[in-house]
Structure 1
Amino acid sequence: MNTPIDWEQAMTEVQSNAKAAARHSERTLNGVAEIAHSHSRHLSRLDQMQKTLDAMQEALKSRPHPIQPSTVAAKASAPFPLFVALGLFVAGVMCGAFIANF
């Protein structure tokens, strides 16, 4: 014969699982916010370095020198790899949190 379902216990389990999921989501969002802040800080530093390199290259061009300086390679597209890394990190954390809830 079927045993009756203990609805109170089931609701308590659902509530505790929901609290754990909310806690994991909050941690995930905090991590994403930290990465976004770090990304913007590194991007501004990269822009500053690029400006310094451009100024140095202009200074080298203005000096007469028998050996021509090599041209600076195409500007690095730093945001794209960082966004990919950020997306993979967030997806990994979400998958880990999802699996941990089982």
Structure 2
Amino acid sequence: MNSQESAAEPDLVVRDAPERRRYEARLGSELAGFIDYDVDGTVLALLHAEVAEEFGGRGIGGRMVRQTLDDVRGRGLRIRPACSFVANWVARHPDYADLVDRQDRA
């Protein structure tokens, strides 16, 4: 965990919002960020991660990715990190590399 992640908000809650096809990060009732996804069987293509400007610089993006991937792992799913932020985060955290779906799909 880097210093930016450890300084993140302690009450950040990340939950799947399947009706919107995204994981949402909330601080209380406020939407602080989200990760959009698409589903292909047991693989989630993580398309776009975004943190609201007013919450930037507080480590929310990293915690949001970590909690999303922890949920994905717990559900026995895999990911396809189409979002560069998520892909770079996974590259820096090799303990999550096993979640990446590496099969070529035609």
When normalised by structure 1's length, the TM-score is 0.28
Larger RCO: Structure 1 or Structure 2 (Cα < 8 Å, ≥ 6 residues apart)?
1
**Higher Rg:** 1
When normalised by structure 2's length, the TM-score is 0.27
Q: Which has the higher strand share?
A: 2
